[in-house]
Each structure stands twice: as structure tokens, then as C-alpha cells.
Structure 1
Amino acid sequence: MNEKKEDYIKVLFDLGGSRNRISNKLVAERLKVSPSTVTEMMVSLEKINWVNTLPYKGSILTEEGKALAKQLIYKHRLWEVFLVNHLGYDINEVHDEAELLEHSTSLLLAKRLEAYLKFPEYCPHGGAIPLNLIEAQEDEIIPLTECQVGDIVEVQRMTNEEYVADYFSNKDVKINDILEYLDENKMVDTITIRNVKSDNTIELNSTTASYLFVKSKR
């Protein structure tokens, strides 16, 4: 499977596609391609049984696609830990480097890298690393945009593109922060939250907020 197909599988999983259908629009925004390009790729991936697609409802990973995505994510997150902890990369710099490395990393090399790193459980973006924990984490988190007014949640992970990390850093939202979901404004595509620790009220773009994954504290 070529790298482009691998990227689609991984992005679907990263957006919650192991348990929910993900719209082509959201995948297109994440990969910076047109929705029609996503549609074509989903048809191709469905033919090889890695996704199940329904018109206007989006795509969800099959068991085979899910297993492949977890391996890619496992390798990617290991490289992020290595780059940050051993080569001095900033969290906002590691995604593109790890993206290159994951595609050329065998499972044997990944296992040895994991042992060298002393079996880390989470990457700098809060994503679980061990294969069994990756799916367990996905089962208990939801995108921030799926919350309801009044919900109190803890930030578990964010997607690992540099612009996403930069965006939330500038908004002073970090892994393990406790947030209160205050409001949603569909007219201007924003949501409003309160960072409980700092007591700051923060307005977020809804699309980018969908790349932040949280767990209920109630």
C-alpha cells in the first residue's frame, strides 16, 4: 500500500473513524485536499476492504483498516517521543519528521525503538502508544465538538499536525487541562469553553476544535 493510502487510513482513525463515520469534508480539511479527491480515495479503500463508505454519511474503518491504522499510529507516536526526548525537537515540529519515518519503519524496528525509549505510554500530543492502549483510549474519548453545554471534560489528546499544536498552544489549551463547554455558535462556526485551571474563557474555531479529543469528568 502506498504512503498516500496509509495517510488516509491513519487520518480516519485519528479523527475517530474506528467507531464513527467521518465526513469527506473533515478528511479533506485535515489533508488539505478537495472533497472529490477524498471521495475517490474512499472508493479505492472500500474496494480493498479497509473502509466502509456511505454516500453523505462518511466512512468508517473496517477491522482490517483499523488494525493497519493502529500500526501506523504506533510507529508515528514512537518517533515523536524519540524526536522530542532525544533530539530536542519541539512538540510543534515533530509531525512532518515522524510522518516520513513511520512509512519506512518495520515492525521489528518499531519494537526495538519502543524498548529503547523504555516503553512510553503516550506521545507528546497525548496519544496512546501501545497497540492495546490506542483503541482503549479511542473508546473513551470524543471530539470536543461533540460535547454539550455544561459538560466538564479533560483534554486527552490532539491530532499531531504542527498547525493544530500551534493553535491550541496560542489558545492556552494543553493536554490534561480541564475544560467547561460553555456555548456553540453555528453562525460563525465557533465554540466557547472555559479553562477551569486558568479560569480563562476561550473561543475556538469549530473545525480545529474537532481535532481536540476529551474525556468526561462527570
Structure 2
Amino acid sequence: MTPIKEDYLKIIFELGGAKREVSNKQIALALGIAAGSVTEMISKLKKERLVSHKPYDDISLTKKGLDQAILLIRKHRLWETFLASTLDFALADIHPEAEVLEHATSAELLAHLDKFLNYPTHCPHGGVIPDRDGNFQEESYTVLDDIPDGKTVTIERFIDDHDLLIYLRDINLKLETQIKVIKHEPFDGPIAVQEVASGKQLSISFKASHNIFVTDEQGNPFKVDKMAKKKE
């Protein structure tokens, strides 16, 4: 399988494609590419029975696609954890290194790496790490952009993207931070939010807001796929 196809399986998993359907637009925003390119690749993945997709419909992983995605995600995120916790790599720099390492990782090495790290359940940017049997904890698939104005949420995880992680570092937005959504600017503008603890206000770009996953104030996943973006 080519690295590009692997990237697609991983991003579909990150967006929730193991348990729900994700849209062409979500994948395009997460990968930073044109929607037409996504359509072309999804067609190829469907022919290989890695994804399920009907024209003008959303996309999900098949059993075959999910099995491959879980193994890729497990290798990638264990290496990310090792690089960040043991070698002190910056969060924004671990992704490309893990991309290289995951392709040279045997089952035995993976098992030893998992044990060495004391069986972590989440990677440094908040993504879940499947265990050796493919099991993983429930996580939120609700993105910040879907949260109505006036609601308070907790930052759970970020899409594993180098540019996004640099951007979030620059605005100093961290995991487990509680924020209140103040206002969605029109015409795909930024979202104004306020940190609950510090009172500091931030402006988060439209693209970034689609790659930041949030939970409710108690840290629980939202039980709906999409929240009405009503103004309160």
C-alpha cells in the first residue's frame, strides 16, 4: 500500500470513520487538499474494499480498511509517544519521524515498544492508541466548528498535522483546556473563544476549528455527530 493511501486510512480513522460516516469535505480540510483529489482517492480505496462509499454519500472504513488503519495508527502513535516522552521531540515535529519509523516496525518491535512505554492509551496530541487486540477507548468526533456560540467545551485532541500543531503552539492552545465559544464569524471566518481559567481570548481559524476535537465540560464525548450551530 502506498503512503498516500495509508494517510487516507489514518485520517478517516481520526475523523471517526471506524464508527460513523465522514464527509469528503472533512477529509479535504484535514489533509489540506482539494475535494476533487479526495473523491479520486476514495474511488481507489473503494475498489480495494478499504472504504464504503456511495456517490454523493459519506465515507466509512470497511472491516478490511479498519484493520489496516488500526495497525497503522497503533504503530504511528506509539512512535510519536516515544519521540515526545523519551527523546523530547517537540509536538509539531514528531509526525514525520513517526511516519518513517512505522514502516520499519515489526510486530515484535511494536510489542516491546508498547511495553517500554507502559501501554499508553493516547498519543501526545490526544489521539487514542489501539491496544494489541485492536481495542480503543471511545473519543469525541465533534469538532470545535460545530459547537454553538455560548457553549463551554474541553479540548480533547488535535488532528495529527504538522502545520496545525505549529499554529496551535503559536496561539498557545493546549489539550484539556476549557474554552467558551464566543462567536463564529460569518463566511468561513475564525471563531472567537475564551479560555475559562485565564479569561484569555483567542481567534481560531476556520480550518483549525475543523481539526480540533472537543468534549463536554465533564470530558465526555458528545452523543451526536453534528451539533446545530445556532447562536445562543
Once the two structures are superposed, what CA deviation does each residue of 1:90-118 show, in whole Å capped at 9, x if it has no partner?
11111111112223323332111111112
Q: Which residue of 2 aligns with 1:117?
A: 117
Q: Which residue of 1 aligns with 2:185?
A: 185
8 Å Cα contact 1:127/1:134 also seen in 2: no
Letter aligned with residue 148 of structure 1: P
Q: Which residue of 1 aligns with 2:17?
A: 17
Q: What's the offset of the Cα at 1:23?
A: 2.9
Alpha-carbon RMSD across the aligned residues, in angstroms, is 2.1
> Within 5 A, what are the aligned runs for 1:99-110?
99-110=99-110
Letter aligned with residue 173 of structure 2: V
8 Å Cα contact 2:76/2:98 also seen in 1: yes
Q: Which SS does the other structure have where 2:197 is aligned? A: coil
> Within 5 A, what are the aligned runs for 1:166-205?
166-205=166-205
Letter aligned with residue 208 of structure 1: A
8 Å Cα contact 2:126/2:156 also seen in 1: yes
Distance 1:125 1:21, change over 3 A: same
Say which structure is richer in helix.
1
Distance 1:135 1:17, change over 3 A: same
Question: In 2, Cα distance between the equivalents of 1:66 and 1:189?
Answer: 34
Q: Which residue of 1 aligns with 2:223?
A: none
1:137 aligns with 2:138: yes
Q: Which SS does the other structure have where 2:86 is aligned? A: helix
Q: What's the offset of the Cα at 1:188?
A: 4.1
Where in structure 1 are there 5+ consecutive unaligned residues? none
Q: Which SS does the other structure have where 2:92 is aligned? A: coil
Q: What's the offset of the Cα at 1:24?
A: 2.6
Question: In 1, Cα distance between the equivalents of 2:183 and 2:18?
Answer: 28
8 Å Cα contact 1:52/1:59 also seen in 2: yes
Q: Which SS does the other structure have where 1:6 is aligned? A: helix
Where in structure 2 are there 5+ consecutive unaligned residues? 219-232
Identify the range of structure 1 (75-84 vs 22-31) with the bigger mean alpha-carbon deviation. 22-31
> Within 5 A, what are the aligned runs for 1:1-218?
1-131=1-131, 135-138=136-139, 140-217=140-217
